[in-house]
Structure 1
Amino acid sequence: MIQISPETQLFIREHSSDDVRALALQAKKYPDIDMPTAITQIAGRQVAAEKIPSWREMEEIWYPKHLSLEQCSSETTARYKARLFQGDSLTDLTGGFGIDCSFLAAGFKSATYVERQEELCEIAAHNFPILNLNHINVRNEDGVAYLQTMSPVDCIFLDPARRNEHGGKTVAISDCEPDVAGLEELLLSKAKRIMVKLSPMLDLSLALKELKHTQEVHILSVNNECKELLLLLGQEAPTEQAPPEEIPIRCANLFTKGAQEEQHFAFTREQEQHSQCTYTDSLGDYLYEPNASLLKAGAFRSVAAAYSVRKLHPNSHLYTSDTFIGNFPGRIFRIVNQCSFNRKEAKESLADLKKANVTVRNFPATVAELRKRLHLTEGGDTYLFASTLNDGRKVIIRCEKV
């Protein structure tokens, strides 16, 4: 049973911005303080300040140990998921710290949080009322066991964990716990809609083959870093279900800094296959780099067709245009000049540069090798893209960000 004494609570408030490693070494100075608990809570608050900013000022919130907090969703992605799911009743079968459940539950009249770790259940039961989420029922049970006996609900959410504990690449849903593919029919007998949150490391094509009732795919990036792969399943009969190549894939790039607008792009694999894409031997005035969600989704031809940009090469996922296309879903650059990969020409063309942001796309050298060759350090306002044009020429493109 988690208990935090008034003395420890005061210590947590007074030291909320301190270095937790330094505090751990000073534990003997504070004999009346439960230092392990204090360090867990202080570290949690510091992570939450960035990851869950709306909870920042809520001093009563309890946080779990580091691993559970690192693995949970951010507020940014949780709010996005909450846009997709509403109804009367929700069950979250893999509750964890409860970030997703707390934001999803706001769109339902009743919700159930299921989690097999007792400590996480205690934390959730403590936090939900503080967040004014008194309609969430906390159940300390195994999610699969609960699923087998639960009453039907409108929606089910689950976030299966990757089984590979050594950080190895997991490409199949069957490599996750619980195995959603094996539970698909049972899940759909218990809810009209299912949302499955997966690691972006998973193979999307394989996931669509394994989960036969997928209706939509959402690929989420935050600040151009791919974070989540969401599959939305529904109860349509197999004869009514769209084939994998016709399932909508919705790419979203969300931002936590500045006033930048969200970037969205939607397509199907069929559209990608049939989209007209122009490849080019020459560069225009602008260079475009699709955001991380589009790159993960494989929207290479369809984005070129949608925005009338030319692709540098079938394997170079960079695009160019003569006129400025401000709503392109990715980073946009103005091209300053270009040079070949020839050592002498490159050094002469870039002689004035001491630092630059370097990216390689379909190029026979790594970023580190290119930096060494050009004697460049990281940073600054100049961007270099090393890539290949449609005629096979290797080029280094000097840009400024728009």
Structure 2
Amino acid sequence: MSNSLVDILSPVPVREFIQAHLNDDPLALVLQSKKYPELPIREIAAQIQSRKKAQSKLPEWYANQKIIFPHGVSMEQCSSEETAKYKASLVEGKTVTDLTGGLGIDLYYLSQKFEQTNYIERSGELQVLAQHNFEALGVNDITQFHGTAEEYLKLEKEPADCYFIDPARRDDANQKVFQIEDCSPDLNLIIPLLLERKAEVLIKLSPLLDIHLALEVLPNVKEVHVVSVKNECKELLFRIVPDYEGPANRIAVNLMKKGKEQFTFSESQEEMTPSFSQPLNFLYEPNASIMKAGGFNAVSNAFAVNKLQRNSHLYTSELLIENFPGRAFKIIAQTVLNKKKLKPYLPQGKANITVRNYPLSVKDIRRKTGVKEGGEVYLFATKLMDGSLAALVCDKAQK
């Protein structure tokens, strides 16, 4: 039997079995493999696991029964449909080349913005898988190259208008790495070659990466996009433009069902002093992208909200700011984390607790106060501008 997932999982009886057992427990299927001697049950079980992940992550691909998903790390690290479409909105031109093709999610959506598309992948298994999936999606005009990014660039005849790179973020021992110098391919070697071609470069990096350190390493960065999905930070995108000089703008994006929250700020805007005050009528918590992008002062000034304290990163205002990029709350009371003091505000003994610049963890607070998780009350434990510790009891504000 071939080692290729495409050969193993493409036959019609196998695809039909997968569809019929999508809701089965994959482990149970493996344990019952003797019941299906004619089928590759282990590969089928792994494919069912991957398809379950793809259902919410890649709904368009999931809906196509001919699509075959990789198992393990490749499925974990691939972009979601939402983030791939966002990338495609950032660049345009005649030719785009994905130097680290992988499963091909990003390139599939990028290809819809370009006339010519090149897919480069060093893994033969992934390349075969991507080719099969592109054909299943009706995309037959993507040029493929099996080899490393460095090998491809040595042979390239015509430079592309845009290059996309999603470096592998695992070392030889398959352990996760986050620093640029630990990723593959080596961006310090690749980027100068691409800048010589006068091409734009879009780089996807781990959301755990320190943005300041990355900007010290990467040249000609015009924009840093911090991309979250439903307020969970998913990836950092660095857009490199030839000959650009100057500080990079930060674009904090939160992709949600109802649309997207987007906040753009510059280095100089973040350096401006914000206003401070004690808690007023409303409380605001910036979304995950703004927090990661470091737009703490910029968001305060842009939306005319006061910071509670320099390092607390919570904001307040007299009147409700309906378009604030994050969560908004109505402050019901200001108190302290004392079981007796909290009791009048928590009739069910429950609250959703958030800690910002406070010496105790959420777990410690629950142990100290006996407050259980859940309910409709929100409790923020934080430090105020006068240095005092406070517990702000809140309800969700209706934007």
> TM-score interval w.r.t. the shorter chain?
over 0.9
Aligned-residue offset at 1:348: 4.3
Instruction: Give the C-alpha shift of residue 36 in structure 1.
Output: 2.3
What residue is the counterpart of 1:358 in the other structure? 353
Per the alignment, residue 216 of structure 2 pairs with 209
378, 385, 399: which one pairs with 2:380? 385
Corresponding letter in the other structure for 2:315: Y
1:32 — aligned with what?
38
CA contact (8 A) 2:382 2:390 kept: yes
CA contact 1:360–1:387 (8 Å) conserved in 2: yes
**Aligned with residue 339 of structure 1, among 318, 335, 340:** 335
Query: How far apart, in 2, do the equivalents of 1:141 and 1:169 lie?
Result: 22
Matches within 5 A, 1:112-131: 112-131=118-137
SS in 1 for 2:208: coil
Is 2:58 the counterpart of 1:43?
A: no
CA distance in 2, matches of 1:61, 1:173: 32
Matches within 5 A, 1:187-202: 187-190=194-197, 192-202=199-209
Which residue of the partner structure matches residue 140 of structure 1?
146
Equivalent position of 1:241 in the other structure: 245
2:273 aligned with 1:276, yes or no? yes
Q: Distance in 1 between matches of 2:204 and 2:394?
A: 37
| Counterpart Cα distance in 2 of 1:389 and 1:315 | 9
Determine the C-alpha separation between the residues in 1 that align with 2:303 and 2:47.
48
Deviation, 1:168, is 6.0
Classify the secondary structure of the residue corresponding to 1:316.
Answer: coil
Gap change, CA 1:167 and 1:118, over 3 Å in 2: closer
Report what 1:254 is aligned to: 255
Residues 283 and 329 of structure 2 are in contact (CA less than 8 Å); yes or no, is this contact kept in structure 1?
yes
User: 1:279–1:312: 8 Å Cα contact kept in structure 2?
Assistant: yes
Give me the whole-angstrom Cα distance separating, in 1, the residues matched to 2:18 and 2:174. Answer: 33
Change (3 A) 1:181 1:33: same
Q: CA deviation at 1:191?
A: 5.1
Offset, 1:43: 1.9
Query: Residues 168 and 339 (structure 1 numbering): CA distance in 2 closer, same or farther, change over 3 Å?
Result: farther
The answer for the alignment partner of 1:80 in structure 2 is: 86
Q: Structure 2 CA distance, aligned partners of 1:137 and 1:53?
A: 25
Gaps of 5+ in 2: none
Cα distance, 1:346 vs. partner?
3.4
Partner of 1:14: 20
**Structure 1 segments (4+ residues) deviating >4 Å:** 164-169, 347-351
Report the 3-state secondary structure (helix = DSSP H, G, I; strand = E; otherwise coil) of the residue aligned with 2:144: strand
Give aligned-pair identity as a percent: 42
> Secondary structure in 1 aligned to 2:23?
coil
Deviations 1:29-84 (A, max 9, x none): 10111112212322222111110111222111111112211110100100000101
For the residues of structure 2 that align with 1:355 and 1:144, how far apart are their CA atoms? 56
State the superposition RMSD in angstroms. Answer: 1.7
1:291 aligns with 2:295: no
Conserved 8 A contact 2:358-2:382:
yes
2:174 paired with 1:174: no
TM-score (norm 2): 0.93
Displacement, 1:253? 0.4
**8 Å CA contact retained: 2:233, 2:289:** yes
Look up the equivalent residue of 1:302 and give its one-letter code. Answer: A
Task: Report the secondary structure of 2:199's partner residue.
Answer: strand
Partners of 1:41 and 1:31 lie apart in 2 by 18
Residue 369 (structure 1) aligned with residue 382 (structure 2): no
Distance 1:313 1:168, change over 3 A: farther
Query: Within 2, Cα distance between the matches of 1:304 and 1:214?
Result: 25
Task: Tell me whether 115-124 or 343-352 shows the greater mean CA deviation.
Answer: 343-352
Please, which of 195, 216, 219 is the counterpart of residue 226 of structure 2?
219
Q: Which runs of 5+ in 1 are unaligned?
A: none
Matched, 1:396 2:391: yes
Inter-partner Cα distance in structure 1 for 2:103 and 2:28: 26
Aligned AA for 1:52?
L
Q: State the alpha-carbon separation in 1 of the partners of residues 346 and 237 from structure 2.
A: 46
Aligned partner of 2:321 in structure 1 is: 325
Normalised by the size of structure 1, how large is the TM-score?
0.93
**CA pair 191-10 structure 1, distance change in 2 beyond 3 A:** farther
Q: Which is worse superposed, 172-181 or 282-291?
A: 172-181
